[in-house]
Structure formats: structure tokens, C-alpha cells
Structure 1
């Protein structure tokens, strides 16, 4: 790791911190504001991978993971109306989902590196985002994993309601996960524009 990688580390840290804060504020019925900031972590990872390679990209991911762990530890010590702002299940789900999804993103991107410019960032982000959503919401809210933190009552997340208010009956957390996943997919497409621009500028500056 050298000084040229520092902007990537700082960008990843800023996204993780912002997402940990904004996830506490609702946006509509199914989302939080954090859903709109966290997906840009994949943009940072993909830019680092394209410009500097898989090794530096993984180091940036690890830096983001450390920041996330610190934020979670702080959150467990801050009491809100219904208990700690960050519960053990949310901390475990967030950390495991982030590390797994981001490392998978690096692997998929590297495998598709030689294809068309958009293929690697799009495929890696779509796959990584899907894994991230599935891991986080199932670990944090699925009734089948209540043994992780028996004292934490997340029965509210298991309330059976129509999917996103209009679909088949599913637990509430499935609707939350679906809405989060849809935002990630949309932002994965939009992020191709800044990816192309940033990579172009960084590629010129490093030659």
C-alpha cells in the first residue's frame, strides 16, 4: 500500500461511516438513507481494482471492514429508545456481509478484467450486492438465526405482510431486503458513469 491508494482508503472509510449513521434514518416505508450511500463502496473497490489491481483493492476493503467494526462497537455502547443502536446480530451481519461481498466483488472483477470495460464492474457489483443483502438481512433479522442473540427481540421483523405492500405474504425483513437489493441494482447501473470517468482520470495520472 502506498500514498496513491490513500484516497481509496479514505473514500471507503467515509462511505462506511456515513452508511452506519444514515442507516438509522428511514426513507419511506422500506428503506433507510444508508441504502443510498453504502452501494458506492462497490464503486470504490472496482475503481481500485481496475487502476491498481486486486491486491490494493483487497487492502481497501479490509480498511473499510476495520472502520465498520469500530463503528459497530461504538454503536453497541450508544443507547437508543429501544436499546443499543447496534445489536450483536446487526454488527455480525454487517461485518460478515461487507467482507464477504466486497472480497467476492474483487474476485469476480478480476476474473472479468479482460472483457468489455463495463462487464467487470457491473457483474461484480451485481453479484456482490446480492450476496451482501442476503447475508445481512438474514443474519440480522431471520427468525431461524435468533440463536445468535437470543435476548434481542426482532419479532417485529418477522411480521407477515404483503411483499413491498403489494406482493405475496412474506416476513417484513424480506420486504426490507428486497427494497435494499433493488436500490443496489439501480445504483450499480448508475455507478458505471462515475466508474468510467474516475478510471479514465486515474489511469492518465498514473501513466
Structure 2
């Protein structure tokens, strides 16, 4: 990488870390305006931008470089979230983030040569559904796991991780959260398209998956 490539990679990494960390904190606070506290958290409005960062990194650096952004951002965000959020939120976020972002990269790469708007829209739409399902079920499900007598809190406690489940209406939150992600996926196509005009490919671009 040239100095310019390293600079851009650092910007992508910083953006990913800020988006995920702020979302992990804000997801603990219901959005109470207009009586919507049972449907949204503040994190619903910040986390979808993680997909925009991943897709721009994929376009700029290729899938290999985008995975580096995801892996390093994952480690930094989870470590900071353990301190600034809760261990359970950090685990839920880390599991959902890594699974969904790698899926996003894979789908985007397969569609890279199609119409410019299709890769970011299709990849974020599908991966956001996976992300939402994993995050909210792990973070806020307080009952026994299906077919067992064990709860997530009990399992964490067995590994020495203290946990007190926050009993939020996670199903309705998840549905509403996904709706926000879909909306922002459409809206983010505009800045994505605008930023493509100023992006150049990696100096030595490897597009291998």
C-alpha cells in the first residue's frame, strides 16, 4: 500500500469503529419520541452505516481489504464495548457484526460488476436481516433457550461473565430496526454513488475473494 492507501484504510477503520461502538452504547436506550420506545432504540439510526463503510471499503480495497477493515474494526469495537457497554451487548454485537459483514462482503463481491447501485443495496438488505436476527436475539432474549433449561445469562455466568438481561421487547425492536436498516440502505445509495466519483482503486488491487 502507498501512503494514500494506508490513509484511506485508516479512515475506513476509524469510521467502522466509531459506528459500531456508538451503536453498541445507543442500542441500550429506547427512542422515546412520539411513543416509539417499544419499537426503536437510538442504535437503529447509527448501526446501518456500518454496511456503507464496508461497501465503500470493498469498492476501494477489494474483498480482501474490506475483510481487514471488518476484522480489525470487530476487535476494537468489541473490546471497547465490553468497557463502555456490557459484555452481553459486546458478545451479541461481535457475533452479529462479524457474521453479517462477512456475508455483506461476499454478496457485494459477487455483484460487483452489475449496475453500480445493486451490490450495496442487495448486500446490505440481506446481511442486515442476519445482523438484526442475531443481535437482538442474543442481546435481549431473557428466557430459556429453545429445548433447554438454560438461559443466555446462565451460560455467561458459567464462564464467569456476570450478566443481567435487559428485558426489552426485542422482537418488535428487531422488526422496527430492520425497517430502519432497509430505509437507510436505500438512502445510503445516494452518498455511496457520490463517493464513487472520488474513489480510486487500490494501487495494487487484488480482487480475489
> What TM-score, normalized by structure 1, do the two folds share?
0.80
Query: 1:121-147, CA deviations, whole angstroms, 9 ceiling, x for partnerless residues?
Result: 001001111000000111223324353
C-alpha separation in 1, matches of 2:186 and 2:107? 17
Q: Structure 2: any 5+ residue segments left out of the alignment? A: 158-162, 204-209
Map of 2:67 onto structure 1: 58
- Length, aligned pairs only: 183
Unmatched segments (≥5 aa) in structure 1: 76-84, 158-171
Match of 1:33 in 2: 42
Q: SS in structure 2 opposite 1:177?
A: helix
Question: How far does residue 44 in structure 1 lie from its aligned partner after superposition?
Answer: 0.5
Moved over 3 A (4+): 151-157
| Deviation of the 1:95 alpha carbon | 0.7
TM-score for both structures, normalised by structure 2: 0.79
- Could you say which structure has the higher strand fraction? 1
Deviation by residue 1:16-51 (Cα, 9 ceiling, x = unmatched): 222233223321312121111111010010011112
Q: Say if 2:177 is the partner of 1:200.
A: no
Identify which range, 97-106 or 172-181, moves more after superposition: 172-181
SS of the residue corresponding to residue 134 of structure 1 reads helix
Matches within 5 A, 1:75-94: 75=84, 85-86=85-86, 88-94=87-93
Structure 1, residues 166-206: CA drift from partner, whole Å, max 9, x if none?
xxxxxx21101111111111000000001001122113997
CA distance in 1, matches of 2:71, 2:201: 27
Q: Does 1:13 align with 2:17?
A: yes
1:169 is aligned to none
Structure 2 match to 1:173: 170
Match of 2:117?
Answer: 118
Residues 16 and 67 in structure 1, CA contact (< 8 A), matched pair in contact too: no
